[in-house]
Amino acid sequence: MIDDPNVFDSETLAGVPDEFQRLWTPHRMAYIHAGADANEGETCPFCRVPEMSDEDGLIVYRGTRAYVVMNLYPYNSGHVLVCPYRHVALYDEATVDEIAEIGTLTQTAMRISRQVFANEGFNIGMNQGRVSGAGVAGHLHQHIVPRWSTDANFLPIIAKTKAMPRLLSEVRQQLAEAWAAQEK
């Protein structure tokens, strides 16, 4: 260990204790090194999903300019995405009407999530471009992730496992039914 806490070198830096907790995720380098987005145009999953039935595409709700769909790789149960139908990559490329509907669908998804799951909070956001971590960088999508005070534990870190207590199809059905009921 170096006696002067203001001096760091590559041999001791990783072992110097500080107030930060670090989660090392080297598997994310696969996304970083993947380069150009393979999910473009006709092969884009967010362009294909609306052509499917709601059940097969895991669509919760279809709006005029955007739709709500279950995330195939959810961070938590009830994790949905709001996507415009139009293949547009960035928020500032979307029309005013698309943005307005994405916002309205996000608000409704939050209300329905609280009604169905009684979650205590949300993570809501968009990753814009591959460099920001977007898995499908070519098609704009907003994440809505329900959160509970008890939803974090050691499994993702130690066992590389996320406990998902319900199947996507069950969650989709529950959300879709609640969405339809609130529109009546």
Catalytically active residues are 141
Angle of CA points 12, 18, 157, to nearest 5° = 95
Rounded to the nearest 10 degrees, what angle do helices 96-117 and 168-183 cross at?
Answer: 110
3-state secondary structure of 123: strand
Dump strand ranges (E) for the chain: 59-62, 66-70, 80-84, 121-125, 142-147
Instruction: Count CB-CB contacts under 10 A for residue 36.
Output: 8
